């Protein structure tokens, strides 16, 4: 009905600015208020009946908002898991790069040096 009030005030103002009588401007404002109110009511009723998202019932809107929050929380959990995996990968790389007693003993005994990823050529 907010739109109907705006339409009625606009019609009254237009009538007064066109030098119409006050009764004519008030009558035009009343008719404009009723017509625009009915049009807005019918449009809202039809959109709700057809199942438009913006004119759904309150329960439907709450369900949509809840599902959006769930998706957002899921995204945050996924990002946290990815960060944890990256941290674990970095720690694994640091452990692999650090010289161990076994690797040093192997280098001294056989002269064998295991290949690292940096030494391999990727095709």
Q: Tokens representing 91?
A: 């720690």
The parent domain of residue 72 ranges over 57-97
Is residue 66 a part of any domain in this protein?
yes
What is the pTM for the complete model shown? Answer: 0.39
pLDDT for res 73: 83
What average pLDDT score do residues 16-24 get? 80
Distance, in Å, from the CA atom of 2 to the CA atom of 10, rounded to the nearest integer, reads 12
- Please tell me the total count of domains within the chain: 2
Higher-pLDDT residue of 114, 105: 114
If asked whether residues 43 and 67 sit together in one domain, one would say: no
E strand or H helix at 18: none
Please check whether residue 40 is in contact with residue 1, taking contact to mean a CB–CB distance below 8 angstroms: yes
pLDDT for res 94: 61
If asked whether residues 15 and 44 sit together in one domain, one would say: yes
What average pLDDT score do residues 83-110 get? 62
Is residue 115 a part of any domain in this protein?
no
If asked whether residues 5 and 40 sit together in one domain, one would say: yes
3-state helix, strand, coil in the chain (%, to 5): 80, 0, 20
If asked whether residues 39 and 3 sit together in one domain, one would say: yes
Higher-pLDDT residue of 122, 106: 122
List of residues 6+ apart from 15 with CB closer than 8 A:
24, 25, 26, 28, 29
Whether 105 shows a pLDDT value over 60: the answer reads no
pLDDT for res 96: 59
pLDDT for res 99: 56
């Amino acid at each position: 009905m907010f739109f109907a009030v705006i339409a009625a005030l606009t019609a009254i103002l237009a009538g007064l600015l066109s030098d119409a009588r006050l009764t004519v401007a008030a009558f035009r404002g009343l008719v404009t208020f009723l017509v625009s109110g009915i049009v807005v009511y019918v449009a809202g009723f039809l959109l709700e009946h057809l199942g438009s998202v913006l004119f759904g019932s309150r329960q439907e809107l709450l369900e949509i908002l809840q599902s959006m929050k769930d998706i957002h929380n899921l995204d945050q959990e996924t990002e946290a898991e990815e960060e944890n995996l990256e941290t674990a990968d970095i720690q694994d790389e640091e452990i692999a790069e650090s010289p161990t007693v076994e690797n040093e003993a192997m280098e001294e005994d056989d002269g064998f040096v295991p290949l690292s990823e940096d030494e391999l050529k990727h095709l």
